[in-house]
Amino acid sequence: MAKQRLAADWPVAAEKRLREGIAAMSLSLDDATIARLMTFLAGLVKWNQAFNLTAIRDPLTMVDKHLLDSLSLLPLIGTDSLIDIGTGAGLPGFVLALVQPEQDITLLDSNGKKTRFLKQMAADMGMTRVTVVNARCEEHVGQYAQICSRAFASLADMVNGTAHLLAPDGRWLAMKGHIPDDEIAALPAVAALENTPPLRVPFAADARHLIVLRPAH
């Protein structure tokens, strides 16, 4: 595959777009955090040339659909332990870890090239509270206060594959487009719907929601 030709000044335009999006979301991120987000974006762009980590090639579109989409979770999550299931290129988990570096975050994916990228980026950026796991969720052992994903095909699959990882008072956090009423109706008995807050994603044409599930006691 031929490498994509990018404009030499793409980081300038991408940072401008990122700052505009952060302002639109009313997030308070300092220059050091924004610089770390840009370092991650540069790594993603570079690795994506060779390893096809994401189908999106344009850095500005990556800002919108990867960075800002991930950052939309910030007002809706806590700082307790979190595992990102099917994290892919670290979305949203790695982005959250850049903004909340004191939080214990596990990034799990069964794709070896994607977890190699994440391990390298975490090492390069000194992210000591990030754990990268190359495995299927059914194989992983641990317990987490928050289980998030934007990659699962259905809520039922997410719950069935990760119920053994959820702490007793934990929450599942599923990033979706429109509220999937059919998936909610098909939830396994071990999970119950808590709420469905909208995700504020600047520049996004389509609706985004967070589906928050709790254990059904």
The CA distance from 174 to 150, in Å, is: 6
Over the stretch 66-98, which tens digit does the pLDDT of each residue have? 999 999 999 999 999 999 999 999 999 999 999
Over the stretch 145-181, which tens digit does the pLDDT of each residue have? 999 999 788 999 999 999 999 999 999 999 999 999 9
Q: Whole-number mean pLDDT of the chain? A: 95
CB-CB contact of 201 with 208 (8 Å): yes
Over the stretch 11-46, which tens digit does the pLDDT of each residue have? 999 999 999 999 999 999 999 999 999 999 999 999
pLDDT of residue 151: 79
Phi-psi region of 167 (alpha: psi -120 to 50; beta: other; left: phi over 0): beta
CATH topology (fold) of 10-215: Rossmann fold (3.40.50)
Is residue 3 predicted with pLDDT exceeding 70? no
Residue type, position 217, single letter: H
pLDDT of residue 9: 87
The CA distance from 134 to 28, in Å, is: 33
CB-CB contact of 171 with 162 (8 Å): no
pLDDT range class, residue 187, cuts 50, 70, 90? very high
pLDDT of residue 4: 59
The CA distance from 164 to 201, in Å, is: 31
Return the number of other C-beta atoms located less than 10 Å from residue 128's C-beta.
10
Q: Is the pTM of this model over 0.85?
A: yes
Over the stretch 106-148, which tens digit does the pLDDT of each residue have? 999 999 999 999 999 999 999 999 999 999 999 999 999 999 9
Residue at token pair 């299931």: 85
pLDDT range class, residue 1, cuts 50, 70, 90? very low
Going by the DSSP 8-state scheme, the letter that residue 75 receives in this structure is G
Is residue 2 predicted with pLDDT exceeding 50? no
pLDDT of residue 217: 74
Domain layout of the chain by residue ranges: 10-215
Segment (H or E) for 195: strand 191-195
Is residue 6 predicted with pLDDT exceeding 80? no
Task: Assign 73 to helix, strand or coil.
Answer: coil
Give burial (CB, 10 Å; 0-12/13-18/19+) of 203.
middle
